Amino acid sequence: MTIDELARRAAEFQAVLDEARGGVPAPGFEWYRYDSLGNFFTLDRLLTGERRELLKLTADLPILDIGCADGDMALFLASLGLTVHAIDNPGTNCNGMAGVRLSKQLLAAETLEIFERDIDDDLRPALPKYGLALLLGVLYHVKNPMRVLERLSMHSRYLILSTRVARRSPDHSVDLSGLPVAYLVDGSETNADPTNFWIFTRPGLERLLARCGWRVADWLSVGNTTDSDPASAGGDERAYVFAENARTPVMHGRMLEGWYEQEGWETWRWTAPRFVVEFPRPGRVVSVKLYVPEYLGAVDLAVTANGQSLTPGSFSGPGHHDYVAAIPAGAGESPVRLEFSASRGFRPGNGDERELGVVVEEIRLS
């Protein structure tokens, strides 16, 4: 299905959505007032080449919708049979996420899961791997956009984002268009909305994406594309971007046991509950960046170096974690064989017979 067909079907789905919500004349809250599904018509202008077959690119992987509002886009994608995880922050969502929850109930959207997250503090997707992440109209509401985009590049193969951009300073006295910068707005400066923060220039957004592990494939500017600024209503310019994951795996040492195959573009590998890595040179400190999946939950990690026990790791819940431990004298001579044993594992099912432990993003010995 090409993107123009998706846009047409999204418009038809809007009528289904309106009818379902119209059956609840007094829901006790206000619905999100903007046309979320209209984004598909903008994507029809944005996407080129093979990317016009958007859903084919995701290879049947789940889709992540961050800042889902009332869930219109997530619900539409779920209506196509896709697995969609919708994330929003009840504290800043226009109705505390009551709209997306009621809509899921009204449409019996079984393949849609809803998660409450403040992505500035806790961007913790339920799965380690998504085919596509949607970040539409969200980036300027994020205090630390670099951290968010970097985390997303560890989980998603593709990214579609839209955000406000600017070419000039608020008073138009300074031309910013050629500089890789961002303007920090005052709490009441843009739409009198204190949740607005960073407005990037195009070079600034391009550099941000590149440094966070993304390669821009398609770019579309809409709105004021001549002398936009960060604050005024007339100076509003929006960038729509399709980006591909450009990260390369970061793995040190020689993987001996308990490692599963690299799965294409990811920066990480699944492990079995027990996994082993060997370093040819001596070292005194081992550091591991790992991800505990939601399906595993809390987990303890026992670690040995050449047979000697190191300080164990204890991770109270899912998400990204760092394990760092000193290696005892005598255990750090080359070669250094590190063995890791997780207290729990799980089998994903659906024909996948592997027993999975944690996800490892990086291991270093220094």
Look at strands 198-200 and 112-116 and give their pairing.
unpaired
Q: Residues 301, 323: contact at Cβ < 8 Å?
A: yes
pLDDT at position 267, please? 61
Q: What's the pTM?
A: 0.73
pLDDT at 333 over 90: no
Q: What is the mean pLDDT of residues 339-361?
A: 91
Q: Cα separation of 156 and 102, whole Å?
A: 27
pLDDT at 249 over 80: no
**What average pLDDT is seen over the chain?**
92
Q: What is the mean pLDDT of residues 316-345?
A: 92
The dihedrals phi and psi of 143, each to the nearest 5 degrees, come to -70, -35
pLDDT at position 325, please? 96
In this prediction, residue 252 has a pLDDT band, given cuts at 50, 70 and 90, of low
Domains and CATH numbers, the chain: 3-245 (3.40.50.150), 254-365 (2.60.120)
Task: Report pLDDT digits (tens) over 148-181.
Answer: 998 898 889 899 999 999 999 999 999 999 999 9
For the chain, the farthest-separated pair of C-alpha atoms sits apart, in whole angstroms, at 73
pLDDT at 244 over 70: yes
Closest CA relative to residue 4, chosen from 62, 52, 49, 60: 52
pLDDT at position 248, please? 54
In this prediction, residue 210 has a pLDDT band, given cuts at 50, 70 and 90, of very high
In this prediction, residue 107 has a pLDDT band, given cuts at 50, 70 and 90, of very high
Beta strands in the chain (DSSP E): 63-66, 84-88, 112-116, 130-136, 156-165, 182-184, 198-200, 214-223, 237-245, 254-259, 269-279, 285-292, 299-305, 308-309, 313-315, 319-326, 336-342, 359-365
In this prediction, residue 266 has a pLDDT band, given cuts at 50, 70 and 90, of low
**% of the chain at pLDDT higher than 70:** 97
Task: Report pLDDT digits (tens) over 277-296.
Answer: 998 889 999 999 998 988 88
In this prediction, residue 206 has a pLDDT band, given cuts at 50, 70 and 90, of very high
pLDDT: which is higher, 362 or 337: 337
pLDDT at 116 over 80: yes
pLDDT at position 52, please? 96
pLDDT at position 240, please? 98
pLDDT at position 264, please? 52
Q: Residues 66, 134: contact at Cβ < 8 Å?
A: yes
Q: What is the mean pLDDT of residues 204-227?
A: 96
Q: Cα separation of 155 and 260, whole Å?
A: 17
Task: Report pLDDT digits (tens) over 44-87.
Answer: 999 999 899 999 988 789 999 999 999 999 999 999 999 999 99
